[in-house]
Chains A and B, each alone.
Chain A
Amino acid sequence: GAGVSQSPSNKVTEKGKDVELRCDPISGHTALYWYRQSLGQGLEFLIYFQGNSAPDKSGLPSDRFSAERTGGSVSTLTIQRTQQEDSAVYLCASSRITGELFFGEGSRLTVL
């Protein structure tokens, strides 16, 4: 596709379950970012990738959160043993090595 694609768009899960969120970046974009947004507020940085490497994982809230990127393309953000405070919109963005971030529409996660 032409833009960043995220799936699922909506996910409702029970506390304690694991969830996987997927991001398909724009073809040719080497950088990929994950952010979390709560209640329409600012974006909280989680992690970014250059190619398949993650130079900065400092934003991951706890060891329940992990992310990987394969083939310099698709990325998966995994949250284990979800908690209610994990409820948020998870946004993925991609970019060329510098410059404009192109965002997907996000994955809305609700933990009951």
Chain B
Amino acid sequence: TQLLEQSPQFLSIQEGENLTVYCNSSSVFSSLQWYRQEPGEGPVLLVTVVTGGEVKKLKRLTFQFGDARKDSSLHITAAQTGDTGLYLCAGASKGTYKYIFGTGTRLKVLA
């Protein structure tokens, strides 16, 4: 069974602080995605990474895919209250379109 473990599970920080969320697995993924979910809504895609070692930036968010394509990280610089939400990673193995989601990181940014 493929498992995607995220850490930390919960994170509460002050506006302006930096943070990193981790997504780890023992399985190799052909692609890995990060989503953000707000209460009462479905997750919304932030980024897709497909190449080992790949780094993508989306404004204040930096995403990295591990060299072995088993892990990923999301770094937020100068967090804002609008970053509050549930962050989910999701991976698909080669040859399959079955996306397995991580355990989730609930982020709260305080003003």
A35 pairs with B101, CB closer than 8 A: yes
Contact with A along B71-111 (1 / 0, CB 8 A): 00000000000000010101000001111111110100000
Q: Which residue of B lies closest to A47 (CB)?
A: B98
Q: Which residue of B lies closest to A97 (CB)?
A: B97
Chain A interface SS verdict (over half): strand
B45 at the interface (CB under 8 A from A): yes
Q: Please tell me the size bucket of the interface on B.
A: 20 to 34
Contact with B along A21-60 (1 / 0, CB 8 A): 0000000000101010000111111001010000110000
B42 pairs with A91, CB closer than 8 A: yes
A98 at the interface (CB under 8 A from B): yes
- What residues of A have a CB within 8 angstroms of the CB of B33 in the complex? 100-101
B48 pairs with A103, CB closer than 8 A: no
Minimum distance in angstroms from A95 CB to a CB of chain B: 8
Quick one: which of B1-27 are within 8 Å of A by CB? 4, 6
Minimum distance in angstroms from B39 CB to a CB of chain A: 8
Q: Which residue of A lies closest to B31 (CB)?
A: A98
A79 at the interface (CB under 8 A from B): no
Interface residues of B, Cβ cutoff 8 Å to A: 4, 6, 31, 33, 35, 39-45, 48, 86, 88, 90, 96-104, 106
Interface residues of A, Cβ cutoff 8 Å to B: 4, 31, 33, 35, 40-45, 48, 50, 55-56, 91, 93, 95, 97-106
